[in-house]
Structure 1
Amino acid sequence: MLSKQKLARINALSKKAKEGTLTEAEAKERTALRKEYLDTFRTTMRDTIEHVKIVDPEGNDVTPDKIKNIKKQRDFPN
């Protein structure tokens, strides 16, 4: 997860961009911070999905095979 300071900086730069006072250096900084944020989000989301186990009301494991295969590869690499 991104630090609170970085999130606050992204928000400040976005506000400044809406006002039309963003410099080129600040635009590059904002782009880099947004990329870092998205990379962190995607990694966290991927990890969350890969650790999910889906169980139907009868107690049967109905986790999709794709996720089961990813778990097997993660737990037992070649």
Structure 2
Amino acid sequence: MAITKRLKRINELAAKAKKSELTADEKQEQQQLRKEYIASFRENLRQQIETTQLFDKKGKEITPDKVQRIQREKGWRKD
């Protein structure tokens, strides 16, 4: 399920929960959707961090060594 569809369904279930009680199936669906959304969010954030390079005001790269190592392993760096 796409992130936007997943998020829309999560919000629908949350709105319904405010108005009335969710069924057991809906509660289970809500938990599963939240779990999938969080996993997807974390993966996207990890990828964004791994592809980011940081520079100070003088133009010197200050990307953490761990991130540089990951970037080299994935072939994103040539140094």
Could you say whether these structures have the same fold, taking a TM-score greater than 0.5 normalized by the shorter chain as the test? yes
SS in 2 for 1:41: helix
- The sequence identity of aligned pairs, in percent, is 39
- Which 5+ residue runs of structure 1 have no aligned equivalent? none
Q: Which has the higher contact order (CA 8 A, sep 6+)?
A: 1
- Which 5+ residue runs of structure 2 have no aligned equivalent? none
Q: Give the Cα–Cα distance (whole angstroms) in 2 for the partners of residues 37 and 7 of structure 1.
A: 7
CA RMSD, Structure 1 to Structure 2 (Å): 1.7
Partner of 2:35: 35
Aligned positions, number: 75
Show the 5 A alignment for 1:12-31: 12-31=12-31
| Deviation at residue 73 of structure 1 after TM alignment | 1.8
Query: Which TM-score applies when normalising by structure 1?
Result: 0.85
- CA offsets 1:12-51 (integer angstroms, 9 cap, x no match): 1112223341010000101111111111100100000001
